[in-house]
Structure 1
Amino acid sequence: MLDDMLDYLEKTRERPVWQPIPDEVRAAFNTPLLTTPMSLPEVHELFMQQVLPYTVGNTHPGFMGWVHGGGNPVGMLAEMLAAGLNANLGGRDQIPLEVERQVTAWVRDLFGFPLGASGLFVTGTSQANLIGVLVARATALGIEMRRNGLTSDRRRLVAYTSTGAHCSIAQAMDVAGLGTAALRMIDVDDLHRMDVKALEYAIAADRQQGYTPFFIAASAGTVDVGAIDPLIALAEVARRERLWLHVDGAYAALAMLAPDIAPLLAGIEQADSIAFDFHKWGQAPYDAGFILVRDGVRHEATFSAPAAYLKRATRGMAAGSPWPCDFGTDLSRGFRALKVWFALKVYGAAHLGTVISHTCTLARQLEQHIKREAELELLAPVTLNIVCFRYRCKNADRVNADIVVALQESGIVAPSTTTVRGVVAIRAAIVNHRTQAKDIDALVTATLDFGKTFT
């Protein structure tokens, strides 16, 4: 099984990026629970024939559809070790927790956070964004709100993010009980960054109407075009207005590893919390999200829950407090940190930064290629590694949507679609460390070929 997966990664370019699932393969997963066992080789053969060929394909260098990392073989092997240990990282005194704490310390230093900052591995940035909202909510309303509930406080909290922000910000407001209507969507400028003047106006208007502003969610790498909000200016607004500044850096926050890209993130060190994923630009296998909070005391106070079965001690297995379960909602937690720890040890931070820089270089090459082709049109500035463009023609929305489906079904390359200023765009997110210039050329050539076919 291990050899097959190593072969899979080694030969990934020889396969299509993605291929439609045959009806008979899909039907094979509509069978009742077995009462008699099968042998391990038999089940593994089913995996090889019915599962492995029909994934979304984000390990392939031609995958450019969404911001999915490509994974790495070191992380895969580390996952095997973690599964063998079967460690529960909710708490207790164990070295796996020290591994997570070491990664937290590395992250804290990377972003210039103080020694008292706290961090936690989570499923992904969606969960990390929720934690950011919850800590900010507890800070605004007081920890007693955990016992008395939101209805005990008459203040109406409101938050702010840009129209380019990820939907998980609104979802976090919903789950936190504040409601999506309490999230103000601020317009963006020509570079798709949050408009600071519009933000200041919205805060003033809300205060005048009796609302209580408490939270700004800035984006470091927006989901559609990869824009970075003006973090320094937003930090100044947050400080002046006494609001919590959270940065959704799902993929771009780790650009701090790349010396040539890191200056674009100036101001991120002033955030109150940062959410990001190691499984995107960090190339760790899924899942490995992370939340970093400047004030670890506030973070712990938001989630810690005393219980007899969680009683702490200074000796024995109940030592080592505080535990990760004091900083989030999960008591049962897998050893996510090990694959990240292995990758940082084996590859080194500098090499991972080089990978990030390379994907941005490829994006700029794609941008220039698009500008040279009269049939193609660039739809948004290229800040990082996301390129949005379209084929020029009549009925462009329909044709470009058809082109993307055709590209995906071809198995050559797999971009996705999004909407940029009201028009359908072909969106190429270059994240995979395996992607090369020839994959960029293949995307352009195939787009032009399909465009001519559909018009």
Structure 2
Amino acid sequence: MAPPDERALPAPDGSTGLDPEDWDSFRSLAHRAVDDLVDHLAGRRDQPVWRPMPDEVRHSFDGPLPRAAAGADAAYREVLARVVPYSMGNDHPRFWGWYMGAGHPVGNLADLVASVINPNLGGADHSPVLVEQQVVRWCAEAAGYPTSASGLLVGGASEANMVGLAVARSARLGRSLREEGMPSGRRLTVYASTEVHSCHRKSCELLGLGAAALRHVAVHDDFTLDVGALAAAIAADREAGLEPLAVVASAGTVNTGAVDDLEAVADLCEREGLWFHVDGAIGGFLGLSGSAASVRGIERADSLALDLHKWMQAPIDVGLVLVRDEPAHRSTFSVIPTYLAHTDRGIAASEVWFSEYGLALSRGFRALRVWMGFLAYGADAFGGVIDRTTALARRLAETVDAHPEVQRMAPVGCDIVCLRYAPPATAAADLDAVNREVVLRVQEGGVAVVTDTVLRGSVAVRVAISNHRTRAADLDLFLEEFVRHGREVVAERGRG
């Protein structure tokens, strides 16, 4: 193809690209934004946790692509008007919905730095790669896992869990899997409790094993995996001609925070020759806390999924997968095309290219928010958060147990309390509908965010206190409002 005629190219116009023409004006805007956001955090407790979005705000997002420039100042005003007031609310002290941390100011600052220098963590020789390598080692140490393990920061524990199972599959089936795909006639199976997170079903589907490959095993009354039932399920599948591959143990289940007996599962996997994977999204860092004994055996896992934006409070999103066998991890994902050839010198000279340990080549600098957090606060501070939120959960459970109108639905696992409004005069058949409505009213009232789930066929209200900003008074206020809404809903249904 002939080179372009230089006379046809646009003449230089002195444009600075997308940089501001007036850096001082942009500096003033940036300083104002930082001040606004610090004020937001400092005063967050006095604001609603979450608020329903007005129709006019919702419909304002239906507009067409803007072609003309409005300017950075105008764009920032839109953020303040239409985004910040209607965010999810998990930066608030009374957000206990699903399971996520509140973030922390040092992590917020780290994200600003990371976005400005904007490195690609796929690989190459630059200091951010060393930051991520150190974060991997620090997190392994914090979790009580071998620091020699291979590791990769990912978007969250769902992705980390899938990477762990992908390595398990590759380790079992060998190199031919990558060249020829899943072998015909072999049906691999993965075992986990009935309380396991839904991401494991997605993993089995995406890895070509199929949803049916995930065998859900019964749990005890405390919602931990029944290891005896697990052994029986493995034996039955072998007898039926299936090929057991891996066991997923939960260090903190999603519904109740139950921690499986990791030592017992490790022993079984060793006897049976199965890959031992631990989903530590919730409780994987209990080793930093006074409850470290509850995750004894985690160090024996072949792979471990962790989540830094839950109990470890890093801004969303950042998870971590650790794999004991580094060659197995790398051989599952490594592809080195000519344009990514590694060198002994220059920018391509790096011992570790993270692109060889997962799917992504372009990877953001997630590691900085974790690295700066460890440096600024110290690992023991995060252990203190775990101990404090666990103590708050047990305090809430004791208050619930003493309340005549509220019923606890499960043992307290980690920092999750499951309860429901259940006054003696209300028929059991009505309680599911009552509690679903109460949850909505609590959310819409802006006092707190909690969510509901189902335990043994009944609706339970789930309070996941994974928030370093929560105080005892916050939980007292929630329970007061919860009971008030419960009484209103029961009275309205009685009149109806």
Normalising by structure 2, we get a TM-score of 0.90
Query: Are 1:47 and 2:79 matched, yes or no?
Result: yes
The answer to whether residue 250 in structure 2 is matched with residue 222 in structure 1 is no
| C-alpha distance after superposition, 1:402-455 (max 9, x if no partner) | 110000011111110001111001110001110000011011111111111111
Shift of 1:313: 1.2
Is 1:81 equivalent to 2:120 in the alignment? no
> Aligned partners of 1:140 and 1:39: how far apart in 2?
56
Amino acid paired to 1:324 = F
- CA shift for structure 1 position 348: 0.4
> What does 1:45-444 correspond to in 2, within 5 Å?
45-151=77-183, 153-258=184-289, 260-392=290-422, 393-394=426-427, 395-444=430-479
* Separation (CA, whole Å) in 2 of partners of 1:340 and 1:326: 22
SS in 2 for 1:29: helix
SS of corresponding position for 2:285: helix
Amino acid of the residue matched to residue 181 of structure 1? A
Q: Which AA in structure 1 matches 2:377?
A: Y
Query: Aligned to 1:8, what secondary structure does the other structure show?
Result: helix
C-alpha distance in 2 between matches for 1:308 and 1:333: 19
Q: Aligned partner of 1:362: which letter? A: L
Q: CA deviation at 1:111?
A: 3.5
* Counterpart residue type for residue 225 of structure 1: T
Deviation at 1:211, TM superposition (A): 0.9
User: Which runs of 5 or more structure 1 residues have no equivalent in the other structure?
Assistant: none
Q: How far, CA to CA, are the matches of 1:60 and 1:115 in structure 2?
A: 34
Report sequence identity in percent.
Answer: 45
Structure 2 counterpart of 1:176, which letter? L
Shift of 1:21: 0.4
Give the TM-score taking structure 1 as reference length.
0.98
Number of corresponding residues: 453
Q: In 1, distance between residues paired with 2:487 and 2:133? A: 55
2:317 aligns to what SS in structure 1? coil
Distance 1:176 1:435 in 2: 39
Shift in Å, 1:154: 3.4
**CA deviation string 1:192-244 (max 9, x = no partner):** 00110110001001111111101111111100000011100000011000101
Distance in 2 (CA, whole Å) between partners of 1:154 and 1:376 is: 52
Greater than 6 Å deviation, 4+ residue runs: none
* In structure 2, distance between residues paired with 1:50 and 1:89: 32
1:264 and 1:181 map into 2 onto residues whose CA distance is: 31
Q: CA RMSD in A?
A: 1.0
Partner SS for 2:61: coil
Q: How far 1:252 sits from its partner (Å)?
A: 1.1
CA distance in 1, matches of 2:448, 2:88: 12
For the 8 Å contact 2:254–2:282, the answer to whether it is kept is no
Secondary structure in structure 2 of the residue aligned to 1:252: coil
Cα deviation for residue 115 of structure 1 reads: 4.9
Q: Is the 8 A contact 1:160 1:183 kept in 2?
A: yes
SS at match of 2:153: strand
Q: Structure 1 residue 135: deviation in Å?
A: 0.1
- For residues 11-58 of structure 1, what are the alpha-carbon distances to aligned partners after superposition, in whole Å with 9 as ceiling and x for unaligned? 110110000000000011000011111121111111111100101100
C-alpha contact (below 8 Å) 1:116/1:295 kept by paired residues: no
Code of the residue aligned with 1:243 in structure 2: it is L
Query: Structure 1 residue 448 and structure 2 residue 477: aligned?
Result: no
Q: Is the 8 A contact 1:78 1:338 kept in 2?
A: yes
Provide Cα deviations, 1:237-261, integer angstroms capped at 9, x if missing partner: 1100010111111121112211x12
Tell me, in whole angstroms, the C-alpha distance in 1 between the residues paired with 2:293 and 2:39. 38
Cα distance in 1 for residues equivalent to 2:470 and 2:65:
40
* Alpha-carbon offset, residue 143 of structure 1: 2.1
Larger radius of gyration, structure 1 or 2? 2
Equivalent-residue separation in structure 2 for 1:250 and 1:290 (angstroms): 9
